[in-house]
């Protein structure tokens, strides 16, 4: 009996020694861990790890987020694994067919003992990132569907898809980025970026743009543009005419306006009633006919109306008489000028007569002197 017990103890010792030697010299280990991977939707990425000293009594598996998804060699509609022998051990791979968003997660390789299901070794985890790009129709710019009045609140909306990594939507106005008044929200699978502002006259005809960018290197920026804004505002009026109107003449008065939409109605009114023979009106032009001096101080109103509202502007006529005194002075000046000219002509004639007389007198004196000198010379000779 003692001999039997000794044999049993001997074999147990041998087995324990064998197990210890196996643990010391044949421990399973991973020589290469899987690496992080980016994959676009519907692509088929694969991950791999390398293990050495894997035995036939052990099972190697792919695990995603702590859940086993494939053991040893496996294939179905979504996963395919392969175990290939190499010079240094085994290469274990997994291919994920037509990747979907739910495939994103942490993957690692694990080795378990078949008999006890005990975890023997595992690799480091690698992250699979499932990348998305929005559909080609995005970004989508949504303009207001109703008329926009000045001083009203306007909201423009830029829409894109909720993807990974998330896209960035930015707003632009003629090359200048807009940073104020922006609000972003997500609903279902879409992202909405709203731009809110108070409409002013300067916003009329403006065309804003929405730019979509992504951190994915190969994704180019994409823009959409809003149709030009149509901001309604009531007419802004100024009345143009001459400062002074000479009584008895015609005068044109122009009602100048700036508005959106265009004015659809002009109305001319007066502070006192005019006869129809005194004026003609055609839209924004009023023609006054042979204005009477009695109309001095008359107030004329131009009222312009469009869909946004009504505006009235007033001007006052300044009618003056024709300057008769000035005309008489002018005629008198002309007559005086003529009289002066005639007087000057007469004076010139008198001057001509006086000069002739002087010349004749001088000649006579000279002749007399010559005769006297000759006579004296002659008489002195005979004496």
CATH topology of domain 140-229: Immunoglobulin-like (2.60.40)
What Cα–Cα distance (Å) separates residue 288 from each residue in 251, 255, 291? Answer: 5, 14, 6
Phi, psi (degrees; rounded to nearest 5) at 113: -75, 130
Domain ranges of the chain: 2-131, 140-229, 234-320
Q: What is the pLDDT of residue 4?
A: 46
Alpha-carbon distance 215 to 163, whole Å?
11
> Do β-strands 245-246 and 319-320 pair in parallel, antiparallel, or remain unpaired?
parallel
CATH code of the domain made up of 234-320: 2.60.40.10
pLDDT tens track, the chain, 383 positions: 444 455 555 544 554 444 444 443 458 999 999 999 999 988 999 999 999 999 999 999 999 999 999 999 999 999 999 999 999 899 999 999 999 999 999 999 999 999 999 999 999 999 999 998 999 999 999 988 888 999 999 999 999 999 989 999 999 999 999 999 999 999 999 999 999 999 999 999 999 999 999 998 878 999 999 999 999 999 999 999 989 999 999 999 999 999 999 999 999 999 999 999 999 999 999 999 999 999 999 999 999 999 999 999 999 999 999 765 544 554 555 455 455 444 444 444 555 556 777 787 788 888 888 787 777 776 665 44
Residue 321 phi, psi (nearest 5): -75, 165
Q: Say yes or no: do domains 2-131 and 234-320 share a fold.
A: yes
Please give the angle made by the CA atoms of 171, 177 and 181, to the nearest 5 degrees: 60
Q: How many Å apart are CA 89 and CA 210, to the nearest integer?
A: 55
Q: Which CATH class is domain 2-131?
A: mainly beta
Runs of H (alpha helix) within 89-210 = none
Q: What is the largest CA-CA distance in the chain?
A: 226
């Amino acid at each position: 009996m003692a001999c039997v017990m000794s044999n049993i103890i001997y074999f147990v010792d041998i087995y324990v020694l064998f197990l210890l030697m196996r643990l010391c010299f044949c421990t399973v280990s991973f020589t290469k861990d899987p690496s992080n991977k980016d994959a676009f939707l519907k692509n088929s990425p694969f991950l791999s790890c390398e293990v050495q000293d894997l035995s036939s009594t052990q099972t190697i598996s792919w695990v995603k987020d702590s859940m086993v998804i494939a053991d040893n060699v496996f294939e179905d509609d979504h996963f395919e694994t392969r175990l290939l022998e190499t010079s240094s051990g085994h290469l274990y791979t997994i291919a994920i067919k037509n990747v979907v968003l739910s495939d994103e997660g942490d993957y690692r390789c694990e080795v378990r003992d078949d008999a006890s299901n005990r975890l023997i070794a595992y690799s480091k985890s690698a992250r699979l990132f499932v990348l998305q790009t929005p559909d080609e129709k995005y970004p989508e710019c949504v303009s207001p569907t109703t008329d926009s009045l000045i001083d009203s609140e306007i909201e423009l909306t830029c829409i894109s898809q909720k993807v990974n990594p998330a896209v960035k939507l930015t707003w632009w106005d003629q090359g200048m980025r807009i940073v104020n008044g922006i609000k972003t929200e997500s609903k279902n699978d879409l992202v909405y970026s709203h731009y809110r502002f108070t409409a002013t006259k300067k916003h009329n005809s403006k065309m804003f743009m929405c730019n979509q960018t992504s951190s994915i290197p190969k994704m180019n920026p994409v823009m959409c543009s809003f149709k030009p804004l149509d901001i309604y505002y009531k007419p802004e009026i100024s009345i143009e005419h001459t400062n002074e109107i000479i009584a008895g003449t015609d005068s044109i008065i122009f009602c100048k306006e700036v508005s959106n939409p265009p004015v659809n109605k002009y109305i001319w009114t007066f502070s006192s009633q005019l006869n129809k023979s005194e004026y003609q009106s055609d839209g924004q032009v009023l023609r006054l006919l042979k204005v009477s001096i009695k109309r001095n101080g008359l107030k004329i109103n131009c009222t312009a109306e469009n869909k946004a509202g009504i505006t009235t502007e007033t001007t006052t006529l300044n009618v003056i008489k024709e300057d008769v005194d000035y005309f008489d002075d002018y005629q008198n000046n002309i007559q005086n000028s003529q009289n002066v000219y005639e007087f000057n002509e007469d004076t010139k004639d008198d001057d001509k007569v006086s000069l002739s007389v002087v010349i004749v007198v001088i000649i006579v004196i000279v002749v007399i002197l010559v005769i006297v000198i000759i006579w004296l010379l002659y008489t002195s000779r005979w004496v």
